[in-house]
Structure 1
Amino acid sequence: MLFFVALLVDGILAGSVYALVALAFVVVYRVSRVINFSLGEWVTFAARLVGTGTHALALPLAGALAFASAGMAALALAFNHVVLHRLIGHPPISLVMVTIGFGAVLQASTVLFFPAGSGAISLPVPSEPIEIGGLFLVPGKLVAAAIAGLGVLIVARVYRTRTGLALRAIADDPQAAMASGIDIDRHVVLTWSMAGVIAVVAGTLSAAVWGGGLSLVLVGLKVFPIVVVGGMDSVAGTVVGALLIGVLESEAAGYLNPVLGAGFSSLAPYLVLLGVLLVRPYGLFGTPGIERI
């Protein structure tokens, strides 16, 4: 039983970080309906910027986060304005292919411009595990989960402000929102800036927990099972989906990997993705699509 609980707690801690990564996807999708297939590369690139700030520029972690946030927000705005804005009215597959191509550019830039160790980030907490109720927990994971949870709460709070109401109105009916005087372009800029900043925080936490190598791209790929399970346009659904995927992955690693192979826990979220697409394609909390036939 203790083994099950240990895996459960580890899955919840991982799922908390996954939730923040997934929010970088959801905030953009809700407003622009862009499916960002390059999110893993965004997170990796952002982590390298933070690592460069702490190592090469000798900045404190807070300064490196500010430096990377400014850089990623500018990058997100440039990508939206220079690339995506020109594809308005094109088939959705064009947007998908552009995000995939941009991801390849980011990955190549990460390898080309950043040294191999620049993604190494450590949080200012003790490294020795602490015992709580018979469970040995890594302080870094606890702090990362707490920061990620705080980030999720901040994003949820933003959607309850006047600006958040405008974002929700745009997500529900862009034409009606424009007719009511909401500046859609300005709010699209805001969401892409938010996505860039969220990617920085999520990338920093991911690098601190799992290492800052190119394998962080795989963390970004877990976004798709998460948003499909929770609902691609739901913040609450994203959190629930992230926790479910985190727990599923952790329990599968403990119980199924010894039987089915070491990589099954990495495959399990995508099996769930396929199942949810067959049964409830808009997710647990997503908005059902209505199309005129």
Structure 2
Amino acid sequence: MDLIYYLELAVNGAMGGLMYALVAMGIVLIYKSSSVPNLAQGALTMAAAYIVLAFSDALGIAPLLAIPLAALAMFLAGMLIERVALRRLAGWPIVMVLMMTLGLDIFIRAITLTFWGGSARTLQLGIPDTPLFIGPLLINRAYLVGAVVALVFFAIFRFFFRTRRGILLRAIADDYVASWSVGISVEHGVALSWALSSLTATAAGALWGSVQTVDQGLSLLLLKGLTVAVLGGLDSIGGAVLAGLLLGIVENILAGYLDPLLGGGTRELVVALVLILTIMIRPFGLFGKHDIERI
């Protein structure tokens, strides 16, 4: 019985971890094309969930049908963010751009609080609530759908970064000045990365909004996504997927064991420890590029 219980925790944790990886992919996309850790990804994920509900309410359609409209709106919003807030910081010290993304996080959370308030709202995507058993294991259907979506996004981005456009984005991340000198439009490349990251945030926001409720708490997914991105390597899409699997399994098993003993709250502790230990022991992550600079 115990073996089945922990196996069930591991399987559901792995699928939940892939949903964390979906948030992490948005962070990796921007870092992979601009070398900037995006601290606004959690707020973008939350805003996307609210926008899905807004389109659903305004047009009187199911939230599932509102996702493409929200995705288009978020895609355009990502390009607008780069044009208005980040383009003027191109070539500035990285800490300035990092602080700008932090400011964006605060601004987006304030805007959503102003328009939609702080009360929680439900987001129904039509995923059945009935139990799903695979053998003796009880599987969370929402996590299963989220895991499949995350793997689809992973496959798309893996292909994208092998195309000419994807290679140009990687060149921009390596050196802005060199990219400008050979005629690469750095501004358009970074804008595309923000648009794609916002598109990913739409999928993550809709899925996590259906699992949880849509409220300000969704922005806290930044911690999970950032931990996965750092553990896997900030410039590795594949690393984000593997790290998401690892974090989800470890988090779920330890929480399943420790929560009854300690009264709960161990999930956040596990995530924080993983982030701290990764930075201390392997700051470039499992599959990140290890840059060594001679001073």
Q: Indicate the TM-score class for this superposition, using the shorter chain for normalisation.
A: over 0.9
The TM-score normalised by the length of structure 1 is 0.93
Residue aligning to 1:21: 23
Q: For 2:264, what is the secondary structure of its paired residue?
A: coil
Q: Which amino acid aligns with 2:54?
A: T
Q: Which amino acid aligns with 1:13?
A: M
Verify the 8 A CA contact 1:48 1:118 in the aligned structure 2.
no
Residue aligning to 2:114: 112
Provide the rounded CA distance (Å) in 2 between the counterparts of 1:281 and 1:260.
Answer: 30
Verify the 8 A CA contact 2:120 2:213 in the aligned structure 1.
no
Deviations 1:80-137 (A, max 9, x none): 1111112234332222222222211111111111256685222223211111111122
Larger RCO (alpha carbons 8 Å, 6+ apart): 2
Provide the rounded CA distance (Å) in 1 between the counterparts of 2:144 and 2:20.
Answer: 14
**Aligned-pair distance for 1:175?**
4.2
**Aligned-pair distance for 1:171?**
2.9
Provide the rounded CA distance (Å) in 2 between the counterparts of 1:179 and 1:40.
Answer: 34
Verify the 8 A CA contact 1:16 1:148 in the aligned structure 2.
yes
Provide the rounded CA distance (Å) in 1 between the counterparts of 2:36 and 2:17.
Answer: 24
Residue aligning to 2:201: 199
Verify the 8 A CA contact 1:144 1:209 in the aligned structure 2.
no
Q: For 2:138, what is the secondary structure of its paired residue?
A: strand
What's the RMSD between the two structures over aligned residues? Answer: 1.9
Deviations 1:213-264 (A, max 9, x none): 2211122221121111110111111111111111111112101222344111
Verify the 8 A CA contact 2:131 2:139 in the aligned structure 1.
yes
Name the CA shift for 1:95/1:169 in 2 (closer, same or farther; >3 Å): closer
The TM-score normalised by the length of structure 2 is 0.92
Question: Percent identity, aligned pairs only?
Answer: 36
Provide the rounded CA distance (Å) in 1 between the counterparts of 2:33 and 2:52.
Answer: 28
Verify the 8 A CA contact 2:27 2:226 in the aligned structure 1.
no
Residue aligning to 2:42: 40
Alignment of 1:147-158 (within 5 A): 147-158=149-160
Provide the rounded CA distance (Å) in 2 between the counterparts of 1:261 and 1:118.
Answer: 24
Deviates more, 1:203-212 or 1:59-68: 59-68
Number of equivalences: 293
**Aligned-pair distance for 1:14?**
0.5
**2:257 is equivalent to residue 255 of structure 1:** yes
Deviations 1:125-160 (A, max 9, x none): 321111111112232221222122212211112112
**Aligned-pair distance for 1:169?**
2.7
Unaligned runs of 5+ in 2: none
Provide the rounded CA distance (Å) in 1 between the counterparts of 2:263 and 2:284.
Answer: 31
Alignment of 1:234-245 (within 5 A): 234-245=236-247
Deviates more, 1:273-282 or 1:137-146: 137-146
Alignment of 1:85-164 (within 5 A): 85-114=87-116, 119-164=121-166
Q: Which amino acid aligns with 2:168?
A: A
Residue aligning to 1:290: 292
Verify the 8 A CA contact 1:37 1:100 in the aligned structure 2.
yes
Residue aligning to 1:4: 6
**Aligned-pair distance for 1:186?**
1.9
Residue aligning to 2:248: 246
Residue aligning to 1:75: 77
Unaligned runs of 5+ in 1: none
Verify the 8 A CA contact 1:11 1:251 in the aligned structure 2.
yes
Provide the rounded CA distance (Å) in 1 between the counterparts of 2:139 and 2:68.
Answer: 29
**Aligned-pair distance for 1:283?**
0.6
Provide the rounded CA distance (Å) in 2 between the counterparts of 1:70 and 1:78.
Answer: 12
Q: For 1:136, what is the secondary structure of its paired residue?
A: strand
Verify the 8 A CA contact 1:34 1:95 in the aligned structure 2.
yes
